[in-house]
Each structure stands twice: as structure tokens, then as C-alpha cells.
Structure 1
Amino acid sequence: MTNLINILSYLCILLGLWFWFWGTAALVTRRSVLFKLHSLSVSDTLGSIAIVFGLVLLRPKELPLLILAIISLALWNTMLCYVLAYCSSSTRKKQ
């Protein structure tokens, strides 16, 4: 049973790393800046949550702290994405 949990944990961590690299690869495309920011922030959020979930499987005694990390990642990355999108798309009055 422990072997299965270790394998699942390492698969989650590898999936998280794959999401990180996948989001970074979107930066070299010829899409708009907002599309690049969106794909990077979504893939970083999913990758980080997958890595932390893999750590939950490895260290179940640290569950409350790692759940807090997952919630913080989801909230922080979502709010940061909204702020960046708002700042880059808002029209400013010229003085």
C-alpha cells in the first residue's frame, strides 16, 4: 500500500512539473500578452496545487498546513491574474 501511495505522490509531483513547463512554453507563442498571462497563471496554479497534493500524500501529518498552502495558492494566483489583466487592459486618460 505504501508503494502505491509513493507512486501516486510522485506522479502528482511530475504532473505539477509538467504543468509548470507547459505554461512556460506558452510564453514563446505569438499570441497576445493577456493570453500568455492567462495560460501561465492557470498552469502555474494547477502545477503548484498538484505538487502540494503530492506532498500531502507523502506527509499526511502535515495535512492542515498543506491544505492551507493549496487554498492560498488558489486564491493568490487567481487574484493576481485578475489584477494583471485589469492593469494591462484598462485605458488611461492622457494628460
Structure 2
Amino acid sequence: MINALSLGLMIVGIVFWFWGTWPLLGERSVLFKLHSLSVSDTLGSMAIIAGLLLKIPREWPLLVLALISLAIWNTVLGYVLAYCSTEGRGDD
């Protein structure tokens, strides 16, 4: 049962990765594409790590650290990229 749930989470993670990549082919703005890619990559990676956590529970400290790092890093990176994209559009 645990192996099936672990495999299911990993498959969901891979689906999120492809789901976030698909909007890159659209006609939307670069910021929309970047946002959808970063959110789906974060969720997909977190689902894969959760699946690994179920499969190899003896490595839980390292995998929990990876989950926390993913959540913090991708959130901060999103804010930095959003700030950088508005730089130069100021009201001078």
C-alpha cells in the first residue's frame, strides 16, 4: 500500500512538471509563463519528495530539509524575479 501511494505521489509530481511546462508554448506574457512554471515545478518537486519520504522513511531529516528548502527557495526566487521584472518601469 505504501509503495503504491509513493509511486502515485511521484507520478503526480511528474504530471505537475509537465503541466507547468505546457504554458510555455502559449501566447501569454513572460511573467505568467514564469509564474505557472515555478508554481507547478515547486508542487511537483514537493510531491516527488513526499513520495520518496514514504519509500525511504529512514532518510526523513534530509527529505524534510529538502521540502522546506524548496518551499522557501522558490517563494523567495519568485519575489526576486517579480521585483527585477518591474525594475526600470519606474515613474522617473
TM-score by length of 2: 0.93
2:68 aligned with 1:71, yes or no? yes
The one-letter code sitting in structure 1 at the alignment partner of 2:44 is G
2:43 aligned with 1:46, yes or no? yes
Gapped runs of 5+ residues in structure 1?
none
Gapped runs of 5+ residues in structure 2?
none
Q: CA RMSD in A?
A: 1.1
The one-letter code sitting in structure 1 at the alignment partner of 2:83 is Y
The equivalent position to 2:22 in structure 1, one of 21, 25, 42, is 25
SS of residue matched to 1:62? helix
Measure, in 2, the Cα distance between the counterparts of 1:85 and 1:10.
34
The equivalent position to 1:61 in structure 2, one of 41, 55, 58, is 58
How much identity, in percent, do the aligned residues show?
64
Q: Give the equivalent residue in structure 1 for 2:32.
A: 35
The one-letter code sitting in structure 1 at the alignment partner of 2:7 is Y
Runs of 4+ in structure 1 deviating by more than 4 angstroms, as ranges, are none
The one-letter code sitting in structure 2 at the alignment partner of 1:47 is G
Q: Give the equivalent residue in structure 1 for 2:6.
A: 9
Measure, in 2, the Cα distance between the counterparts of 1:92 and 1:24.
28
Measure, in 2, the Cα distance between the counterparts of 1:85 and 1:28.
21
Would you say how many aligned residue pairs link Structure 1 and Structure 2? 90
